Structure 1
């Protein structure tokens, strides 16, 4: 058994959740997971359709962005993942998709308010949307600069308390303790974005949930005295 087989299998399984959860068409997405002890992360290869993706296709990278194991090129978003892993030291997996409702908010350049308890159950914070990238960022190291853009938005936001972001004009990124958790958060983000879109269609003047209700739902699931679920 190879040194990175378990890591690659976890990343393959998480990537297969993208089409299973209708988060992206064709090759429009990627998932990675880091092994901080080994100093590597594994990621989907670029442009490989999900129906053809095999565990052995997963590419293992070091933290300098060099291939450690794999014969295929890594996802074109690899440099974005690398910046986020270096910046957010407590995360272990990252998912990027082009799920339609999240992309719609990103294309509109709008953060998603906490309109209801479904959102608050997962984060007590709005889903932030980055500024639009400047021309010099796009013509430079674009994928690296995408990661820097996200990191700058989170300068004053705890990435554990808000594991979701929208990149203006582009789409969603989500993260978590591992690859599977990051996909879960990507699914939740798409559903929250869909619900928020419907909310504004029903009432364009809809207001965010009161703070006391937002905090109640967030703390009962994530706070020090959380009581949601089983022990």
Structure 2
């Protein structure tokens, strides 16, 4: 047996590797991958690690869309509730203003009536009747105006309730249509919440904010700083 045989003679090389140094560097930094594919194919442990990464990344991608849908629904609902609270406050403010104006008018009429009553002579009953008649007309006008405003508000609320009922019917029809897709979606939702047949992990290994965040980088990943001729001089001095 030839123990001195050079194993390099049977080693397999990848002739296409090493010709994309810039892409290899960025892909390695951003995706934590090696440039030469043979480094994976020649090592079962690395193949297993890549399979784990693929399963974990697939699980993260799978739950992404349901999470974003729920987040969008949640925030949009809060926004609608806030808008509804504003509208409700405006309606109550308008109603309160109407009532306050009516009370102010009634108090004014009452004060005027009392002042005029003090000036009436016991013998001038005709003038007193005239004042009382004017007071009653004023109160009737105020009451009529207030009732009209309240009735208008009531009609607006009834129209809104009808619109809400119509939206409820549309939602029921939409739900009936979506029931036919429920069985197909259950598998996807189950995978998004429970995981694959192998079971989901309680914690998926991820790297949050990879890289040195203290140094600014450009969109290509190049550190920001001095450029051009001065950068070449700095690089030469740092050798």
Q: TM-score by structure 1 length? A: 0.19
TM-score (normalised: structure 2): 0.19
**Greater helix fraction, Structure 1 or Structure 2:** 2
Question: Which of structures 1 and 2 has the bigger CA Rg?
Answer: 2
